[in-house]
Structure 1
Amino acid sequence: MLMARSEVKCYCCGLTEECRPAYVATVKERHQDRWIYGFCVEAIKDENSRSSRKISTEEAMKQHVSFCEDFRMSSPPAKPTEYLIAAKQLLRRTKDSQMRERLGGCRPGMVTWGA
């Protein structure tokens, strides 16, 4: 038997996704009854950790929502496919470097584009 899915929209970035109701409820419970996409959750954590002063999760979320709004109002990239590939590579490198730091303090090397 297939479980029903519902479409939800991210409070921060506006991305829509189909999810099972139980998962939607869990995410909303963690974020004051707001659906927040996984990448946005990570961005909010990053906003909070990068702040020079102690800020609440709510303030970090407001900053991220503001960033998303500014991004949506900006012009699209000239080559969207290349932009998406570069964004995915950046995310992968960021996650890889975080893992390396946890495992031994290594730092990522210099990256060159378009070689």
Structure 2
Amino acid sequence: MAPHGDAMGGTFNFSRPPRLSNDSLQRSISDISFELSKEAIDLKQLPPISEVEDAKCECCGMVEECTPEYIDRVRDKYSGKWVCGLCAEAVKEEMKKNGGKSKEEALSVHMSACSKFNKFGRAYPVLVQAEAMREMLKKNKRRANSTSPREVQGGQKKGAIARSSSCIPAITRDMIDLTLAN
């Protein structure tokens, strides 16, 4: 166990640390205030953070938060119209689907599809589904009624591979010959 302070002999001299003068204390305070003011000046030199704005898609009406620079780039790309990322992908697909159609034509086709959907689709989703089923049936009927080069002019359809004769009589003949030989 450590000895008690009274038990220790007077060999150790406990002296107080020297007192700081007011000069050195004042200098410390001024150094700290200088550093703080220097940081405030550095903060003023930082570039301003660009604020985000709400941009509404001119096709579907979806709202996104974007910087003004991004909004300008998108408008330059799509002839002055702001288009969200989803509609931009749909426009690209429309361009590919119709053989490299111009961006303006693809954008107008997509915008008309969006406006048609926004008129009826949101209010009457069942009607939109019924219309889609009707379109699918129309396409299937057109495919079934389509004329191809393989079809005969008389209206009667002919198969792609025509059979000249049946192989069944030859097999039966071989089997009869086999049974007679036994």
TM-score (norm 1): 0.58
* RMSD over aligned Cα atoms: 1.9
- The whole-number CA distance in structure 1 between the counterparts of 2:94 and 2:121 is 23
Matched, 1:70 2:70: no
Partner of 2:91: 44
3-state secondary structure, aligned to 2:54: strand
- Does residue 75 of structure 2 align to residue 31 of structure 1? no
Distance of 1:5 and 1:72 partners within structure 2: 27
Higher alpha-carbon deviation: 66-75 or 35-44: 66-75
Task: State the percentage of identical aligned residues.
Answer: 35
Q: Taking CA–CA contacts closer than 8 Å with sequence separation of 6 or more, which of the two structures ends up with the larger relative contact order?
A: 1
Equivalent-residue separation in structure 1 for 2:89 and 2:71 (angstroms): 17
> Which portions of structure 1, spanning 4 or more consecutive aligned residues, are displaced by more than 6 angstroms?
none
> Which residue identity lines up with residue 20 of structure 1 in the other structure?
T
2:162 corresponds to which residue? Answer: none
Report the structure number with the largest CA radius of gyration: 2
AA of the residue aligned to 1:48: M
1:2 offset after TM fit, Å? Answer: 4.6
- 1:72-108 CA-to-partner distances (Å, cap 9, x unmatched) read 1224447xxxxxxxxxxxxxxxxxxxxxxxxxxxxxx
TM alignment of 1:73-112, pairs within 5 A: 73-76=119-122, 77=125
Aligned-pair distance for 1:48? 1.3
